[in-house]
Structure 1
């Protein structure tokens, strides 16, 4: 009897400890990684706010689904949730799924076999057992969270997977102006678990954009932050062809410069860089050469500007505007978008509820309203209307 009581007591301690870890550790980790450091006032005058709220606003990259919080509710943590997207007048939000990230990640060099921080995060957050070993399962788990949210809150979030569902969204938004369109993308195609057939698996789960690499080289080819700086592998070539056959948008953020060149050489559709800066504006190992940016734009692609120091060197709204203006001069107003990298382990000076500060900064720098409308989301909308699957 005494032995039984000891076992029960130990089991209770384990359960209590695990509940404590699940309750507190994820929020502590996110609080350290996704910060907002406000400097100048983020208040915007009524005229600017009215103009901002008249725009279609879109963001190509947020890693919000990685974190263990209910994004139907406004949080103090991080950068993105549905109420904050609504306050920021965001119509189009690409939710990108992080499935592997090396410990000690940096912009210079990361080994493919470095210890993975997402494995530990999945355990701490109580993800399904399949996610402990499968990167595809991790992407699917995050997609399921978004799809469930849309089912539970149909007046706040609608999943968009096609040109027809995008048109339905725009019609519905006329009577439900706070409605947000959620789209799904991968943060690197290691999420395929090395299998081409998983492209179809993820497509069937709603994924419509796939980036090829993250912070390390993978089976598809070299990362900008990997050890090899090689280009697209034969497997990578086959993956790009299969993605584009399904009208999946190919994202070359984090890809090595040689990989970008190789993808440009074979691509049958315009490319996206979903979150970046310009090396000519902010010389950083995070940013590829301006000449490649021009080639992407020349083939109809979009370059989405981020808000964190690794991409634009500083983080104020004026710094974001300066990076955008540099891009406008480099590739033209039809090829610049927004790519926040919100909730992706970055520090910014505003969150998704405060995107009007970008509009304000661009107006103050005498950017035309036409260009602002395109950058803030018009270009993203037009791109999706052409590049998503028809149905």
Structure 2
């Protein structure tokens, strides 16, 4: 017990020192303003991409332009996400409509709503150009290739619409790949990739779309490494050695990233960072939310049930849920005095581990904001500077921090594009 108290005291002292040392804060802020900061995973709701309600406003979303400006976040990867449904043509068609709406919403933001404030980038040169012009940058990732159905020509279509990474599965086995969720019941559909999934890997290489491994099963990921001629990314995953969750990457998979030159974007999703702290704090917090919900005559639904709602009903639900959270904010803040939530220090522990295991050139940063992500100290884009402060506190150099915040990801993008150029030339 004495050693645990001592460790806690030292960590708290270091945190206080970081917050109160003007020289350290000045150094961190200067670095944060200088480097290109990229968050590789932010979910979207198309209802927030209209003329009357959009990201030029400081909405109750974790990501929008005012919050990005306040937190010094340069680049946000906006996600074309589709949940996993039946493997039928009718379901594929419905999923494609969902993906189509999200592609259109992102383009609307950049081309019609706020072209003077944010631009869509599809390569590293465009990222650097937009940042140099003082604009924010949007990029597009596809979370779950399910909307493609069995038509691989849609991979080229998604590329042409701006997608620069894509995962082959989400929470459930797709037509392309098994999901990490198979670990729960030991039931697998393909024992890795399907034959269609193997063809999809080669087509993604040819088009120049980065292959994202953040949801497929371990066996599928290993097969992706074997097949792909270009480096892979994990757009939002952390280290399984520190948090034993099937969404995280174990040491065997991490070694493949090191060997093949990819990048792992550490994710600020509480249950993937520290399960013990996540469950303890969330249980106490949820009691507060349930009490407030009862007072306001609102029913809090399981996350899977919310995802099953129509777009309109889901938006209405989240608006009401936001009111519950706002009403409970003071009690939740006071809760932190007795139960420690997952915080920035816990998150950077994963960065430390990954850097030590596979090297500074293969690690990046992601939040999963507006998709369940967020930790104490980095709960929306406005708090992004706190990550840099913690990195400086731990001795990372400006060059290191530049790599972690974006240069590693941009390097992989360039390498994937070079492989595609070579394949197309041949």
- The two structures have a TM-score, normalised by structure 1, of 0.76
Deviation per residue, 1:21-72 (Å, 9 max, x gap):
xxxxxxxxxxxxxxxxxxx999794442222111111111111245646442
The answer to whether 1:186 aligns with 2:153 is no
Q: How does 1:1-391 map to 2 (within 5 A)?
A: 45-65=25-45, 68=48, 70-101=53-84, 113=86, 134-152=94-112, 153-162=114-123, 166-174=124-132, 176-177=133-134, 179-226=135-182, 227-228=187-188, 230-313=191-274, 315-349=342-376, 350-388=379-417
SS in 2 for 1:90: coil
Q: Paired residue for 2:295?
A: none
In 1, Cα distance between equivalents of 2:265 and 2:357: 13
Q: Paired residue for 2:287?
A: none
Kept in 1, the 8 Å contact 2:214–2:247? The answer is: no
- The two structures have a TM-score, normalised by structure 2, of 0.70
Structure 2 unpaired stretches of 5+? 1-14, 278-341
Kept in 2, the 8 Å contact 1:210–1:249? The answer is: yes
Cα 1:231/1:63, change in 2 over 3 Å: same
SS in 1 for 2:74: strand
Deviation per residue, 1:221-246 (Å, 9 max, x gap):
21001331720110000111111100
In 2, Cα distance between equivalents of 1:341 and 1:172: 23
Q: Which consecutive segments of 4 or more residues in structure 1 shift more than 6 A?
A: 40-44
Cα 1:303/1:222, change in 2 over 3 Å: same
1:194 Cα deviation from its structure 2 partner: 2.8
Cα 1:248/1:322, change in 2 over 3 Å: same
In 1, Cα distance between equivalents of 2:399 and 2:130: 25
Deviation per residue, 1:60-115 (Å, 9 max, x gap):
111124564644234352311122122222222211111115xxxxxxxxxx659x
1:346 Cα deviation from its structure 2 partner: 3.3
Cα 1:228/1:172, change in 2 over 3 Å: closer
1:154 Cα deviation from its structure 2 partner: 2.0
Bigger fraction of residues in helix: 2
SS in 1 for 2:257: helix
RMSD, aligned α-carbons: 2.6
In 2, Cα distance between equivalents of 1:65 and 1:74: 14
In 1, Cα distance between equivalents of 2:345 and 2:174: 36
SS in 2 for 1:376: helix
Between 1:335-344 and 1:62-71, the stretch displaced more is 62-71
In 2, Cα distance between equivalents of 1:218 and 1:171: 37
